[in-house]
Chains A and B, each alone.
Chain A
Amino acid sequence: METRHELNRRRFMQGVALLGAVPIISGGSMAQPQNDASQIPSGVVPKRPLGRTGVQVSAMGLGGYHLGSAETDQAANEIVAKALDHGVTFYDCAWEYHDGLSEERLGKALRGKRDQAFVMTKVCTHGRDKKIGMRMLEESLRRLQTDHLDLWQIHEVVYENDPDLIFASNGAAEALLAAKQQGKVRFVGFTGHKDPEIHLKMLSHDFPFDTVQMPLNCCDATFRSFETHVLPEVNRRGIGALGMKSLGGSGELVRHGAVTPEQGLRYAMSLPVATTISGVDTMEVLDQNLKVAVNFQVLAATEMQALRDQCRPQAADGRLELFKMTTKYDGKIGREQHHFPTVQELPI
């Protein structure tokens, strides 16, 4: 098993070298975190309602991509165990993360603790049909060692024609409905990091999405803004909002001095969302996140506005939100399945 993981990781690292398309550090690892877990206050991460589902989830979620970037299976295990101990119940993953390694690690880490967690993973049809989606679901369930998902989302809705492909006859939307009907998933949603217009186009189909995932951070607030254009609509419909990329995806907001990790996380978690998904690949990053999230209280409106204003000059050209501006965060599989040229073939 170890060998296979090593192989997967190598293959993944080759992918990184080729693509230059994958985060190299976790959401919070630019924090220069103090390695002192004792500063985590006693208490737990508060829970919030997930839209109109009747379910409550922790206000901070554990991002599954970075679980695959952790040094070893053991490290990933310890991260999940400690997160659970402090009340993190929301666990994110995706079928295509690290060729399945993220799902396998999450499955192992949750063995015997499945009922303490709200498990989400994503289906990666990228425009292909329902049948492929259902096959991915079976594979995800097997890797995650569970008979059902709490939430199953369509991954990476980022291209202008994605809504058309997803809602085409026999498309991914039908897979969501079928999986729900078969009792294999409790709730369904979609994710994307590119363009608020594409999210709104998805919503315009009035499909019964339970959740929608989107980038939410201090720069997004004033640049091609999901916060301004999508979040109010999602809330209006009673859909559970899931925030991501609170620090820019790879800590860009922190690295370039726009915010401290604490400011970035607090801003994202203070928005009207169910949870903020943050990637964790080391115990230091987890501790840093837990210090913010345990006993979390939302920022005042004036503090939120001050953070928006603080980031405005660096937000205006989008250079810290590379997931909106470049192909850096667009997956290779997604481009292939859309019959787009590879990133290397693009003149950008």
Chain B
Amino acid sequence: MPSTFNGTIPLRAFGRSGDKISILGFGGHHLGEAPDAKTAVEIIHQAVDGGITFYDNCWEYRRGKTEVWMGAGLKGRRDKIFLMTKTCPHGRDASLALTMLEESLRRLQTDHLDLWQVHGMAFENDPALFIRPNGAAEALEKARKDGKVRYVGFTGHQNPKVHLGMLETGFKFDAVQMPLNAFDANFRSFEQQVLPELNKRGIAVLGMKPLNGHGDAIKQGVITAEEALRYAMSLPVTTTITGIDSLDVLHQNLQIAQNFKPFTDAEMNALRDRCKQEAADGRYELYKLSLKFDNPEARLAHGFPLDTQQSEVKDMLGEPENTGHPFPEKQF
């Protein structure tokens, strides 16, 4: 698929900052599904060559594996790209968030981040915990002041109201990340409730879950991957972050992004209408719907009980590779 190498992807302004980033962003979580570090590094190299300049990651993804692999892949290419990762205090103190920052910088082999975001605002009391004295808001301020991060933001996938609650804290965010897809348009909608507010404030919008997180709607034939990606990228956002776990997926995404043409308003409406009936009970957006999709780390940090029968808790506690130690495995 030579056409996707050394290609370019359209760039858009990152809020009011003057920076520009590619309209397609590289989602870090799925990188951990690559079979090994070598493959992951190759995926990153081809992504950079193919024109993706925005790279997403998170301190808690796969116990650090995805940050380590991305750091290896970006070695020697750091200055060509815009690097984001997330901190995961989940309501806990600023000092913990800053400890996570140091660890992220080390894993990513860099001395600064372009964007540092608070991960996973999900619960009704998250805005209050964020803005409290000694909360994560102070960590963002300090990291920005110390020059370790250029911009700051927050992410979440559960509830537009929680996002609005974060904005109401009055904290000056440079970026906000949220799910945006043709199903979201019809169900507890970030597109309707949060996106216009961010645009109004000049905050950079980072869309995620263009394929609904798991691609189930595509597997069921409700929408194609290309339609879904084009829908998300046609919204007034800076970038659309999509998970990339293989060269095949990368090439498919590069094709779409390099040749991107926005949908017309009529085409956008037709897609919304097509998904409306399927969207109405939220089953394709389980990240908004079910306690079972809560991040177990976040539940623990909030003092919420864990249901050990939940599939994701099982994943966290029971995966054969999960020894409870961070990646890479320490040798004892």
A binding-site residues for B, Cβ under 8 Å: 159-162, 195, 197, 222-224, 312-313, 315-319, 325-326, 335, 338-341, 346-348
Contact = CB atoms under 8 A, between A and B. Distances in A.
B161 interface: yes
Interface of B: 123-125, 159, 161, 186-188, 216, 276-277, 279-283, 286, 289-294, 299, 302-305
Given A312-B125, A326-B291, A348-B290, A160 B188 contact: yes
B292 A316 contact: no
Given A159-B281, A160-B280, A313-B303, A224 B161 contact: yes
A222 B289 contact: no
B272 to A, nearest CB: 12
Given A197-B188, A317-B291, 16 more contacts: A159-B280, A160-B186, A160-B188, A160-B279, A161-B276, A161-B280, A223-B124, A224-B161, A318-B124, A319-B304, A338-B277, A338-B280, A346-B283, A347-B286, A348-B290, A348-B293
Contacts of A326: 290-291
A333 to B, nearest CB: 14
A220 to B, nearest CB: 11
Nearest to A345: B283
Contacts of A317: 123-124, 291, 294, 299, 302, 304
25 contacts: A160-B279, A160-B281, A161-B277, A161-B279, A162-B280, A197-B188, A222-B124, A224-B124, A312-B125, A313-B303, A316-B123, A316-B125, A316-B302, A316-B304, A317-B124, A317-B304, A319-B291, A335-B281, A338-B280, A338-B281, A340-B280, A347-B216, A348-B286, A348-B289, A348-B290
A325 to B, nearest CB: 6
A197 B187 CA distance: 10
Contact of A340 (B123, B161, B283, B299): B283
A160 B124 contact: no
Nearest to A322: B291
B281 to A, nearest CB: 5
B305 A319 contact: yes
B219 to A, nearest CB: 12
B317 to A, nearest CB: 19
A316 B124 contact: yes
